[in-house]
A and B are shown apart, each in its own frame.
Chain A
Amino acid sequence: MSSQDDYEGAATQSRATVAEFDDHRRGFVGSFHHALHTTPALVPLIVLLAAIVIFGMLLGSKFFSPFALTLILQQVQIVGIVAAAQSLVILTAGIDLSVGAIAVISSVIMGQFTFRYGLPVEVAVACGLIIGTGIGAVNGWLIAVMKLPPFIVTLGMWQIVLAANFLYSANETIRSQDIAANAPLLQFLGTTFKVGADADGRGGANFTYGVLFMVGVILLLSYVLKHTAWGRHVYAVGDDPEAAELSGVNVKGTLISVYALAGLICAFAGWALIGRIGSVSPTSGQLLNIESITAVVIGGISLFGGRGSILGTLFGALIVGVFTLGLRLLGADAQWTFLLIGALIIAAVAVDQWIRKVAA
């Protein structure tokens, strides 16, 4: 064996490390920026903690009570669940304006199928979930196969679904008492349980199954997006659909599955909505599309797709919740909340751009 053919020997002499980018920047700003770049949920987490500390200092025990802190979770649970769906869609560089409408019509279907047609409540809930998924799949099909822009498709679907919701329900509310008596399963996600309450059941922290569901769905999606092929495909499609297609990703299939899954999650949000307000009311959830996009953007998911972590969305929703309750407890006019949240949205996009620019 001549020395020229000594491949084994050559291999042992080569560098054992895989190709990598050196981080040449040094110093605090450099490493801070690097941390932000690699952990997109860090920015909203810092803002969230800062908001909690500031409101805590201003309000003391009123804000730092288990009651108030868990109240924030309860108040953001619906937005949080819907924002999880919105995150998936925005990761593919899309947007879903119909999320709130899907949530509401799913809740109306669950209620009306039970009370108008007398179906068993389990079947009615399943129907609501299936129809929510179906509407999402139609969105996905129009976007992936018909190549229509997501903004237009979901803008149209928002109006269609909302109108169908009002026409179908005749805008009649199904009362909480009737639901509690005949179909308590509809209110299941609203079931409250207390941690650390005194003997009379006063004080302590209040949780609902809806809150657990919100946290659960976000943790699950976070795992799936990071550690499964489907999850990586979602990021790839959002970053550059042509490159993804060329590397063998089924772009159409991924898009349709994302919108269908978003529809399913929204239908669950509709179920949680019944639990939260007790009744089935066709007029609820009108602002969910905007609120969910707000949570996603403040949570640091890029509107241009392919970047950001779904945990950030949870923090984004919580930031809005902390601001809303904190300002309310301070006695501020509700308009201040909108003003500050507007400023936060713009700041979040600015931070996103900064991270991209320095990284480029």
Chain B
Amino acid sequence: MNKLITGTALAMIAMAGTASADGHGVSACLITKTDTNPFFVKMREGAEAKAEELGITLNSYAGKVDGDHETQVAAIETCIANGAKGILLTASDTSSIVPAVQQARNAGLVVIALDTPLEPIDSADMTFATDNFLAGELIGKWAASALGDDAATAKIAMLDLAVSQPTVGVLRDQGFLQGFGIDLGDPNKWGDETDARIVGNDVTAGNEEGGRKAMENLLALDPEINVVYTINEPAAAGAYEALKSIGRENDVLIVSVDGGCPGVANIKDGVIGATSQQYPLLMASKGIEAIAAFAKDGTLPAATDGKDFFDTGVALVTDKPVDGVDSIDTAEGTKLCWG
């Protein structure tokens, strides 16, 4: 028993030693929505690799489920208490997180939003993200070109993320409609468009189950739907199952956003026509570099020219390229995919 206590005490002293040794190094935090979604797993890998390269101590936190706002606030508070230099944050609740972010910035930390912009976007020092509007626009343009003259009489189903209309879902939805050539109404929300080609909007929670149910609901409204916009590839896979069950899987065009490996494989198999691929690994590694630069001499990251965020790029992946829209094929997409 005494041995155990001595051993524990020694171990604790040793740990305290390493902690104080790291104390004068730079530390950073990564806070994601969950630590199980492959997208965030990839983001974490990118951040860890870059942090190790630059000699930064990285602490990672995540909500228990998507939408777990409290855990993210607690993580920000922990980072402030830990004396971190900066936070990379993918917020679950883009407006409610703002006071916590402000608290961190007041404490002298640089806060960078990854993937999901905060509301308002300048609540964070910078946003490193895919241009989600552009991502939507690319698949919208592609779908319109692929349909040719039939685009004028298309029947479109919009499979969105959630009823709360988070920024990322609104941007992709509105981008798609703009690319397809539909008047947006208020570009800050989906569902207010009056174009008769839109059959309806429904929400999917971004997974297969939600995608299937939403597709079924919209098919009940109009069984002649022939274009389906989906917020991401799992929702697209669910929509495909719904179409398959009524034997319409081959005459409906499905487009999506994300570019994960299963999604790119689904393009190869003809399940999805085209997807816009984003690059989470790049977002995270650029974010760590920005924190390192800030820790060194207080430099704040700059936005991409003409945009209010740092654009980490997007590419259209399809095996059926159309004129006027740049794209890469699935072989290239598989090389770059993050799943």
Interface residues on A, range: 35 or more
Listed stretches B6-14, B203-211, B328-336; interface member: B203-211
A175-B262, A175-B265, A328-B202 given; A284·B208 CB < 8 A: yes
CB distance B216 to A74 under 8 Å?
A: yes
CB distance B237 to A176 under 8 Å?
A: yes
CB distance A177 to B271 under 8 Å?
A: yes
B140 proximal to A (CB < 8 A)? no
Residues in B with CB closer than 8 Å to A283 are 36-37, 207, 234
CB distance B266 to A175 under 8 Å?
A: yes
CB distance B163 to A334 under 8 Å?
A: yes
Residues in A with CB closer than 8 Å to B339 are 172
Listed stretches B16-24, B118-126, B241-249, B280-288; interface member: B241-249
Residues in A with CB closer than 8 Å to B85 are none
Which A residues between 170 and 186 are near B, CB-CB below 8 angstroms? 170-173, 175-177
Which A residues between 187 and 242 are near B, CB-CB below 8 angstroms? 190, 192, 201-202, 206, 208
Contact for B217 among A170, A276, A328, CB less than 8 A:
A328
A113 proximal to B (CB < 8 A)? no
A53 proximal to B (CB < 8 A)? no
B41 proximal to A (CB < 8 A)? yes
CB distance A276 to B220 under 8 Å?
A: no
A305 proximal to B (CB < 8 A)? no
CB distance B213 to A278 under 8 Å?
A: no
Contact for A281 among B200, B207, B245, CB less than 8 A:
B207
B212 proximal to A (CB < 8 A)? yes
CB distance A278 to B220 under 8 Å?
A: no
B221 proximal to A (CB < 8 A)? yes
A192-B245, A276-B212 given; A175·B163 CB < 8 A: no
Which A residues between 72 and 88 are near B, CB-CB below 8 angstroms? 74-75
Residues in A with CB closer than 8 Å to B55 are none
Q: Give the Cβ gap from A176 to chain B, nearest Cβ, in Å.
A: 6
A248 proximal to B (CB < 8 A)? no
Q: Give the Cβ gap from B48 to chain A, nearest Cβ, in Å.
A: 16
Proximity string of chain A (22-46) to chain B, C-beta cutoff 8 Å, 1 when within and 0 when not: 0000000000000000000000000
Q: How far is the CA of A79 from the CA of B208 in the complex (A)?
A: 16
CB distance B241 to A329 under 8 Å?
A: no
Q: How far is the CA of A166 from the CA of B37 in the complex (A)?
A: 9
Residues in B with CB closer than 8 Å to A333 are 163
Q: Give the Cβ gap from B229 to chain A, nearest Cβ, in Å.
A: 18
CB distance A286 to B65 under 8 Å?
A: yes
Which A residues between 262 and 289 are near B, CB-CB below 8 angstroms? 273, 276-279, 281-286
A335 proximal to B (CB < 8 A)? yes
Count residues of chain B with CB under 8 A from any CB of chain A.
35
Residues in A with CB closer than 8 Å to B234 are 173, 281, 283
B25 proximal to A (CB < 8 A)? no
CB distance B241 to A276 under 8 Å?
A: yes
B38 proximal to A (CB < 8 A)? yes
Proximity string of chain B (300-339) to chain A, C-beta cutoff 8 Å, 1 when within and 0 when not: 0000000000000000000000000000000000000001
Q: How far is the CA of A170 from the CA of B223 in the complex (A)?
A: 37
Residues in B with CB closer than 8 Å to A286 are 65
Q: Give the Cβ gap from B160 to chain A, nearest Cβ, in Å.
A: 11
Which A residues between 311 and 341 are near B, CB-CB below 8 angstroms? 325, 328-329, 331, 333-335
A173-B208, A177-B266 given; A166·B202 CB < 8 A: no
Q: How far is the CA of A329 from the CA of B216 in the complex (A)?
A: 11
Q: Give the Cβ gap from A43 to chain B, nearest Cβ, in Å.
A: 27
The count of A-to-B residue pairs whose CB atoms sit within 8 angstroms is 97
CB distance B212 to A277 under 8 Å?
A: yes
Residues in A with CB closer than 8 Å to B202 are 328, 334
Q: How far is the CA of A173 from the CA of B238 in the complex (A)?
A: 12
A281-B209, A286-B65, A334-B163 given; A67·B238 CB < 8 A: no
B260 and chain A: residue at smallest CB distance: A173
Q: How far is the CA of A285 from the CA of B213 in the complex (A)?
A: 13
Q: How far is the CA of A109 from the CA of B208 in the complex (A)?
A: 18
Residues in B with CB closer than 8 Å to A208 are 245
B191 and chain A: residue at smallest CB distance: A333
CB distance A278 to B208 under 8 Å?
A: yes
Q: How far is the CA of A172 from the CA of B223 in the complex (A)?
A: 32
A252 proximal to B (CB < 8 A)? no
B209 and chain A: residue at smallest CB distance: A284
A175-B265, A334-B163 given; A71·B65 CB < 8 A: no
Q: How far is the CA of A177 from the CA of B266 in the complex (A)?
A: 8
Contact for B237 among A190, A278, A325, CB less than 8 A:
A278
A68-B220, A166-B36, A285-B209 given; A201·B247 CB < 8 A: yes
CB distance B271 to A75 under 8 Å?
A: no
Contact for B200 among A166, A176, A331, CB less than 8 A:
A331
Residues in A with CB closer than 8 Å to B53 are none
B52 proximal to A (CB < 8 A)? no
B residues at A contact (CB < 8 Å):
36-38, 41, 65, 163, 200, 202-203, 207-209, 211-213, 216-217, 220-221, 223, 234, 237-238, 240-241, 244-247, 262, 265-266, 269, 271, 339
CB pairs A–B below 8 angstroms (21 shown): A68-B220, A74-B216, A74-B245, A170-B36, A170-B41, A176-B237, A176-B240, A190-B245, A202-B223, A208-B245, A276-B241, A277-B209, A277-B211, A277-B212, A278-B237, A278-B240, A281-B207, A281-B234, A283-B36, A328-B220, A329-B220
**Known A170-B38, A206-B246; 8 more pairs at CB < 8 Å:** A166-B36, A171-B38, A176-B240, A177-B269, A208-B245, A278-B241, A281-B234, A283-B36
A residues at B contact (CB < 8 Å):
62, 67-68, 71, 74-75, 166, 170-173, 175-177, 190, 192, 201-202, 206, 208, 273, 276-279, 281-286, 325, 328-329, 331, 333-335
